[in-house]
Structure 1
Amino acid sequence: MSDNNISYTIEEVASLLKVSKLTVYDLIKKNELTSYRVGRQMRVDASDLESYKEGKKNKGRQVANSEAIVNDSPRTFVISGQDIALDLLAKQLEKESENIRPLRLYTGSLNSLISMYNNQCDLVSLHLFDGDTGTYNIPYVKKILTGFPFIVINFLSRWAGLYVQKGNPKNITGWKDLNREDVSIINREKGSGARVLLDEQLRIQGMRYNEINGYQIEETSHLSVAAAIGGDRADIGVGIEKASKIVGVDFIPLIKERYDLILLKNETNEDVIRKIKEILSSEEIRNELSLMGDYDLSETGKVIFETY
């Protein structure tokens, strides 16, 4: 059979290169090794594997020297998510890891996860509700990170629900009130966890978005939504409890959401994952998170899901 017709599984490529499967996945993610999917299995053509090996040989000493220079410099570690608790985690990670330089992105959950798939960030935080299972995060991670080994670690849990004006003058009690003609909402941007929660609840409750007053009006954070309610721009907003206390609006808790951290499992991240587990199990960060209030830390540091 011609080499042009031979293809290998990830396990076979790992065996041929004498590296782990995690390393092979990382090479594919970085576009250093070409792959394709047949059904649920990823394949690598023999010709593409040979091209990768030849490329490594040709780089020779130049690559080795450049890698040495890179290894002497702190690694930029991109953390994407909007809760202020992530700033605390980033600060602690930088403090305890000489080779890590955290960079914060304040992007919504779904867009952060897509960025991870596109190799644009290293750690993402999620609070994505799935109406079909009634669970958080795992269904989305499985679908978007298909083919990549990953780990899901709980950071904290918190209440999500509805912001309403002080004193709740419209007597709003839950999701069904979104469909009332005498109320209007301020929405979150597409890709945010709050927007996903709203859209899933509309689907579950059998309501259509075009029947919701104000659905097309968007803000880009929990605080800005709560401020819009406080400023009498709308009657309802979806968000987390903490923002309501900062702004001074009333809050109706409707669901306890799990706020998880997602990291890809590869050789580059092994030490970082271990360090994050250590940080989350420390009394120092737990005490600081407790001082922030409104967080449930009962599962903080627990591995919720892991692929190999």
Structure 2
Amino acid sequence: MAGADNPRGRCVGGHARSEPRAPQYEAPIQCIGSRVHEVQSQMKQVSIVPVWTIQDAQGQQLPARLIDLLVQVSETGTLQSAARVLGLSYRHAWTLVRQGEALFQAQLMLMERGKGSTLTDLGARIAWADRRIHARLRPVLETLSSELAQELRGALEEAPAALRIHASHGFAIERLLERLAGDGLKIAFSYASSSAAAAALRDGDCDVAGFHIPIGAMEPVALAHYRRWLRGLDLQLVDIAVRRQGLMVRAGNPKELFALADLARPGVRFINRQPGSGTRFLLERLLAAQEVASTAISGFEQGEYTHAAVAAHVASGMADAGFGLEPPARQFKLDFVPIATERYFLLCRADVMATPALQAVLQALRDPAFRQVLAALPGYDPAAAGTVSPLADVYPALASSAPE
């Protein structure tokens, strides 16, 4: 159904976002919730964007774009600025707020002349719910977008993707995919755990695997874990960046959480990553090395699927701390306590290294302008980006000659 709020139409039970928040890599189709718009013969990109809404018992729904408006008010501080960002008139934005308040029979926003606009607790909770939804689903939807693009490309009898990448989600690999898409390179990618990426590379289900290994005392432990998939394979390692993992805590660190042992204190609520993720594996090994029982940490078994979702969970007040990367902590205005440093890299076989597609990857990583993009990510050091080394030279424990 279409309406004044959304001239492009929207799916029943959903609101359309003004623009997708997730990067668009593949093939113009746009899926919002359960709807698909516009398939053209020349595939360019697929974008899937989450949709959600709220309705009462009579089926009356929250006005389309009101959730976007509340998010923008929380970020800009005024209804006028929020309306400008979304391309709405001030009058229309105010009407959306009034309609939402009528549905809830409660205020969503407080406005005071000369002091801007402040969301009520209800309005703030809706805005944070939207952030959490996008943070949690983004990598999943990006992977699905790539899969859909491949299916459509096959139906249109277009050339298949030049490179298949399975990689642990991170912000450097995200920027790299954006760069390669901008360069016109067709890539089929899937975000997966580091273990799943390594297994896919071994089994020939991908051309390139991306994952991370800690630097320092935890390195041998991690290598022993990945050895089952990588030992003896003739692989080349392509560096992307060194990055920091640590504690994400509320601004000002009110609980005074400075070490992993502090997570076990009474009254501290923690949000973890999902089982099987490389970040959770690292955290579990760090806790074991420090003799901190995970059972003593409240919330340890609750896991989110992305670093951004962990940060949003903490920023919304649902947890006091999480463990993950620095960029989402800064994005959500959290404090960050560095705990570990790790190396993020790509692995591929020698025959793949010689392909034009992989050479395009190396060219991008070695581009000074792109390195500046990576260096702008908090906690990331891309000094070695694009460096190629035999895997067995970098990690002898993974060589076929290494003892069991």
**Same-fold status (TM-score > 0.5):** yes
Residue identity opposite 1:209 in structure 2: S
1:183 and 2:271 aligned = no
Please give the alpha-carbon distance, in whole angstroms, between the structure 2 residues aligned to 1:287 and 1:136. 32
Residues 1:207 and 1:292: Cα distance change in structure 2 (over 3 Å): closer
Please give the alpha-carbon distance, in whole angstroms, between the structure 1 residues aligned to 2:258 and 2:201. 37
1:106 and 2:191 aligned = yes
Please give the alpha-carbon distance, in whole angstroms, between the structure 2 residues aligned to 1:243 and 1:91. 18
1:77 is aligned, of 140, 152, 164, to: 164
* Structure 1: 5+ residue stretches without partners: 1-69
Please give the alpha-carbon distance, in whole angstroms, between the structure 1 residues aligned to 2:371 and 2:331. 21
Residue identity opposite 2:177 in structure 1: A
Classify the secondary structure of the residue corresponding to 2:299.
Answer: coil
Residues 1:210 and 1:74: Cα distance change in structure 2 (over 3 Å): closer
Please give the alpha-carbon distance, in whole angstroms, between the structure 2 residues aligned to 1:200 and 1:131. 13
1:156 is matched with which residue?
241
Residues 1:297 and 1:132: Cα distance change in structure 2 (over 3 Å): closer
Asked if the contact 1:187–1:237 (Cα under 8 Å) also holds between the matched residues in 2, the reply is yes
Matches within 5 A, 1:127-166: 127-129=212-214, 133-134=218-219, 138-166=223-251
Please give the alpha-carbon distance, in whole angstroms, between the structure 1 residues aligned to 2:221 and 2:162. 30
Alpha-carbon shift at residue 140 of structure 1 (Å):
4.4
Please give the alpha-carbon distance, in whole angstroms, between the structure 2 residues aligned to 1:131 and 1:211. 26
Please give the alpha-carbon distance, in whole angstroms, between the structure 1 residues aligned to 2:359 and 2:223. 21
Residues 1:254 and 1:130: Cα distance change in structure 2 (over 3 Å): closer
2:339 is aligned, of 243, 254, 258, to: 254
- Encode CA deviations 1:264-296: one digit per residue, 9 max, x unaligned: 33x244224444333322223213323445421
Alpha-carbon shift at residue 73 of structure 1 (Å):
5.1
Residue identity opposite 1:80 in structure 2: A
2:311 is aligned, of 201, 226, 242, to: 226
Please give the alpha-carbon distance, in whole angstroms, between the structure 2 residues aligned to 1:305 and 1:139. 18
Please give the alpha-carbon distance, in whole angstroms, between the structure 2 residues aligned to 1:248 and 1:106. 26
Matches within 5 A, 1:29-44: none
Q: TM-score, normalised by structure 1?
A: 0.67
1:300 and 2:385 aligned = yes
Alpha-carbon shift at residue 89 of structure 1 (Å):
2.0
Matches within 5 A, 1:202-281: 202-265=287-350, 267-271=351-355, 272-281=357-366
Q: Structure with the greater relative contact order (CA < 8 A, sep ≥ 6): 1 or 2?
A: 1
Classify the secondary structure of the residue corresponding to 2:384.
Answer: coil
Give the CA RMSD over aligned residues. 2.8
* Structure 2: 5+ residue stretches without partners: 1-156, 393-398, 400-404
Deviates further, 222-231 or 284-293: 284-293
Please give the alpha-carbon distance, in whole angstroms, between the structure 1 residues aligned to 2:159 and 2:197. 28
Matches within 5 A, 1:32-71: none
Residue identity opposite 1:78 in structure 2: I
Residue identity opposite 1:109 in structure 2: S
1:284 is matched with which residue?
369
Alpha-carbon shift at residue 127 of structure 1 (Å):
1.9
Residues 1:183 and 1:291: Cα distance change in structure 2 (over 3 Å): closer
1:88 is matched with which residue?
175
Q: TM-score, normalised by structure 2?
A: 0.52
Asked if the contact 1:125–1:262 (Cα under 8 Å) also holds between the matched residues in 2, the reply is yes
Identity %: 25
Alpha-carbon shift at residue 107 of structure 1 (Å):
2.0
Alpha-carbon shift at residue 95 of structure 1 (Å):
5.6
Asked if the contact 2:214–2:340 (Cα under 8 Å) also holds between the matched residues in 1, the reply is no
Classify the secondary structure of the residue corresponding to 2:380.
Answer: coil
Residues 1:188 and 1:287: Cα distance change in structure 2 (over 3 Å): same
Asked if the contact 1:188–1:225 (Cα under 8 Å) also holds between the matched residues in 2, the reply is yes
1:27 is matched with which residue?
none
Classify the secondary structure of the residue corresponding to 1:127.
Answer: strand
Residues 1:139 and 1:304: Cα distance change in structure 2 (over 3 Å): farther
Please give the alpha-carbon distance, in whole angstroms, between the structure 2 residues aligned to 1:87 and 1:220. 15
- Encode CA deviations 1:189-222: one digit per residue, 9 max, x unaligned: 1222210111011110112222221111110111
Please give the alpha-carbon distance, in whole angstroms, between the structure 2 residues aligned to 1:284 and 1:226. 28
Please give the alpha-carbon distance, in whole angstroms, between the structure 2 residues aligned to 1:216 and 1:137. 21
Asked if the contact 1:128–1:136 (Cα under 8 Å) also holds between the matched residues in 2, the reply is no
Residues 1:141 and 1:269: Cα distance change in structure 2 (over 3 Å): farther
Classify the secondary structure of the residue corresponding to 2:286.
Answer: helix
Alpha-carbon shift at residue 71 of structure 1 (Å):
11
2:257 is matched with which residue?
172
Classify the secondary structure of the residue corresponding to 1:243.
Answer: helix
Deviates further, 245-254 or 113-122: 113-122
Alpha-carbon shift at residue 156 of structure 1 (Å):
0.6
